[in-house]
Amino acid sequence: MNSDRAAIIGTDPISASIALALRGQKTPITLVGYDARRPVAGLAKARGIFDEVRRKPGAACRGAHLVIVSEPLARIEETFAAISADLEPGALVTDTVRLKAPVMRWAEELLPPRVSFVGGHPVPNPAVVGLEPLESLDDASAELLKGGLYCFTPSPRASSAAVEACSWLAHTVGADPFFLDVTEHDGLQAGVEGLPDLISIALLRATVDTPGWEEMRKFAGSSFAAATEGVDEGSNQHLSLLLNRENIARRLDALMEELRYLRIVLNEADESVLAEISSEAAQSRKRWMAKRREGMWAEDREAGTRDVPGAGEQMRRMLLGDLGSRRRGARDESREA
């Protein structure tokens, strides 16, 4: 078995960027990729992202002590089931999905106890990527995650060595490791992804194909397009909304309170209050955009990562199998005792 291997299941700009950053390390790692879209996997190999590609996800995982699952949320459960039997004892398995609670649950149910699972969510530095979505391998780069955050939500059975290896992985791609509770993570996501998606859906339902739409659509321009661009039919968006429904519902309650208040202001025709509210909202957005341009979390970096484990040679050895093998032996001896 060659332990100097990492497997990446699913090819997208984030996973490809992680692979390119790993490739830049002094100690060589064989990168094995899998993607159900064979032309995409072939293109990744041709561009030097992967050393090898496999036709089945389980085959890609054999011999790998780092497995990164970078599939869409709708395919994570079936992917865990497909790779479970082929995972190496002591391997670190992680993912890149933006919603963590369901992924953590599927990992607990489907992955074997011989591996450590740590939920992962790489967040590129907004000062680097801007607001445009990352859509193709052309957007991948070893520099993509530099200055970003790499969020981790360890499972209860993840070993301390696996948690340390996550810190190593974050530093390897140039990001700050950021460990947080899965409930907190998904609660934060609800406000900046789930709620905007729901608002886009509601706005379309309240306007398109309603009485007057035939004339209304003639005036619909950039504002309407920007407010509704979050709706994506092919992304299984409804699944993310459903699986994070409790957190989104709380954010929705707060939004409805704001809308009710704005309706009162409009009904009272209070121009001064409405002008003040509009100005405050504009200033809030301006501050947010300024933070994005400078990296947004630069001033919070020290506080946000003060409890993160340090990176070092032990982490690298665990990632490549050595430390994992020793811990495996120790666990076996404790069971026998």
Q: 3-class SS at 5?
A: strand
The candidate with the shortest Cα–Cα distance to 317, out of 67, 90, 116, 15, is 90
Looking at residue 122, its pLDDT comes to: 96
Q: Where are the domains of the chain?
A: 5-180+307-336, 184-245
Residue 128: the pLDDT is 83
Q: Which tops the pLDDT comparison, 313 or 52?
A: 52
Which strand ranges, in their side-by-side order, compose the sheet holding 149-154?
Answer: 52-53, 30-34, 5-9, 66-69, 92-95, 116-123, 149-154, 176-179
Q: Write down the pLDDT at residue 297.
A: 60
What was the pLDDT predicted at 299? 54
Across 96-105, average pLDDT: 97
Q: How confident is the model at residue 27 (pLDDT cuts 50, 70, 90)?
A: confident
Distance from C-alpha of 63 to C-alpha of 232, rounded to nearest angstrom: 37
User: What is the pLDDT, as a whole number, of residue 305?
Assistant: 43
Pick the CATH number of 5-180+307-336 from 3.60.20.10, 3.40.50.720, 3.40.50.300, 3.40.50.460: 3.40.50.720
Of the candidates 82, 93, 97, the residue with the CA atom closest to the CA atom of residue 115: 93
Residue 110 and residue 84 in contact, taking contact as beta carbons nearer than 8 Å: yes
The kind and range of the H/E element at 34 are: strand 30-34
Run of H or E residues at 61: helix 57-61
pTM for the model stands at: 0.85
For the stretch 206-253, pLDDT in tens is: 999 999 999 999 999 999 999 998 888 777 889 999 999 999 999 999
For residue range 167-205, list pLDDT tens digits in order. Answer: 999 999 999 999 999 999 999 999 999 999 999 999 999
